[in-house]
Structure 1
Amino acid sequence: MGTIVVQEFITLDGVIQAGGGPDEDREGGFEFGGWSMDYDEEFDTLGEGGDIIAEWESKTEALLLGRKTYDIWAGAWAVWDENADGFMGELTRRYNRVPKYVASRTLTEVGWKNAELLGDDVPAAVAAIRAERDGEIRVWGSADLIATLAEHDLVDEYRLAVYPIVLGTGKKLFSDRFPKTALALVSSRQLASGVLINTYRPAPGRPASGT
């Protein structure tokens, strides 16, 4: 059985939009694209963030992506050079190799290698994938998809890199449609840059979600 793991770079006010670059996602007039990369460039002088991502992604055996995140990733990892040196080449090879499952109401086909659409019943499809696969099934971005998964108790772990900044605008991980969810903090690590790496799992003895 697989483990569905949500990973996000997140601000103190819960924003996860476009941490990777200025043009990654400008939806809603978002003007702070690249906020996490900019912060790391200035403050992560030890390269701890990159080491953590490398360790996390070495465990990725499949990807779950919402349509918007799929578009962003397919326009990047799917076309980047697999033979690039270092971490970028390693990640590109891994993301091209692993299965990718895409939740979309509008797409009729996906062109990225080893990608497929989840179909109309996303929770049922994801539950079947989790039951059939081994290893970590990774979710990045994809706030709407994550809310749907949480509504059906399909998230096993949240790994959040919490940046000590407030943006005041942007897409949030825990939006107004997110279900009531009880979580337990299972680990927390402060990097020299000030970023907190917090890992949460559904709280034992309490329902993971409900009203």
Structure 2
Amino acid sequence: DALLLGRRTYDLFAAYWPHQKGGGEDGDIATLFNSIPKYVASRGKPDLSWAGSTQLGPDLAAAVREIRDRHENVKVVGSLNLVQSLLREKLFDRLDLWVHPILLGVGKKVFDGGTVPTNVTLLEPPAAGPKGTVFLRYGLADGTPATGDMSAPDRGVGSGA
């Protein structure tokens, strides 16, 4: 239904996706991204010439609540500063994480500087790609966060192995 992007991700997307056409490897994504509303969280003045783009006002939490009321599916791609704000305000229903088998040591961190303790629950079994990338889908859960339990039978602990 809609994209919610931080300014840097929006700038990257706006420089690429409007120039992609249907068909080819990126065709379906281009058609989708070019046809849905795009909301940009920015303190500056981004170039909003990409069709369907709107800058959010200064009250991010209120703006995101309004977007969530208006659209059934709101996707955030990249935009880690924005993601950290959404996590802090618990303005998400689902958190999709891709864990890639590389160790960089530097770069942007999803949970930079920590995050507000929040319970999440795994919504579906992890899926691993052929090169070792693992996809994890979590949902916001109620209750007080607790430590994980690695003694479950599917972890190989306590089975005499």
Tell me the TM-score range normalised by the shorter chain.
0.7 to 0.9
Q: What letter matches 2:84 in structure 1?
A: A
Partner of 1:77: 17
Distance across 2 between alignment mates of 1:108 and 1:193: 37
Q: Is residue 119–residue 143 contact of structure 2 (8 Å, CA) maintained in 1? A: no
Q: Within the alignment, does 1:193 sit opposite 2:126 as a pair?
A: no
Q: Deviations over 1:73-131 (max 9, x none)?
A: 10111222x24x23411111110100000000011651110010011111100101101
Partner of 1:19: none
Q: Is residue 147–residue 177 contact of structure 1 (8 Å, CA) maintained in 2? A: no
Partner of 1:167: 104
* Distance change in 2, residues 1:89/1:127 (3 Å): same
Partner of 1:35: none
Q: Is residue 158–residue 200 contact of structure 1 (8 Å, CA) maintained in 2? A: yes
Distance across 1 between alignment mates of 2:115 and 2:82: 10
- Any idea what SS the aligned residue of 1:75 has? helix
Partner of 1:181: 118
Q: Is residue 185–residue 199 contact of structure 1 (8 Å, CA) maintained in 2? A: yes
Partner of 1:47: none
- Any idea what SS the aligned residue of 2:63 has? helix
Aligned pairs (5 A) from 1:1-211: 61-80=1-20, 82-83=21-22, 85-107=23-45, 109-134=47-72, 136-176=73-113, 178-187=115-124, 188-206=126-144
Distance across 2 between alignment mates of 1:95 and 1:197: 22
**Shift in Å, 1:197:** 1.0
Give ranges in structure 1 of 5+ residues lacking alignment.
1-60
User: TM-score if structure 1 supplies the norm length?
Assistant: 0.64
Residues matched between the structures, number:
144
Distance across 2 between alignment mates of 1:109 and 1:86: 27
* Distance change in 2, residues 1:88/1:197 (3 Å): same
Runs of 4+ in 1 over 4 A off after TM superposition: none
**Shift in Å, 1:69:** 0.5
Higher relative contact order (CA 8 A, sep 6+): 1
Q: Deviations over 1:144-180 (max 9, x none)?
A: 1111111111011111111111100000111105322
Instruction: Indicate the structure (1 or 2) with the bigger Cα radius of gyration.
Output: 2
Distance across 1 between alignment mates of 2:32 and 2:88: 29
Q: What letter matches 2:45 in structure 1?
A: L
Which has a greater percent of strand?
1
Distance across 1 between alignment mates of 2:56 and 2:48: 11
Q: Is residue 101–residue 115 contact of structure 1 (8 Å, CA) maintained in 2? A: yes
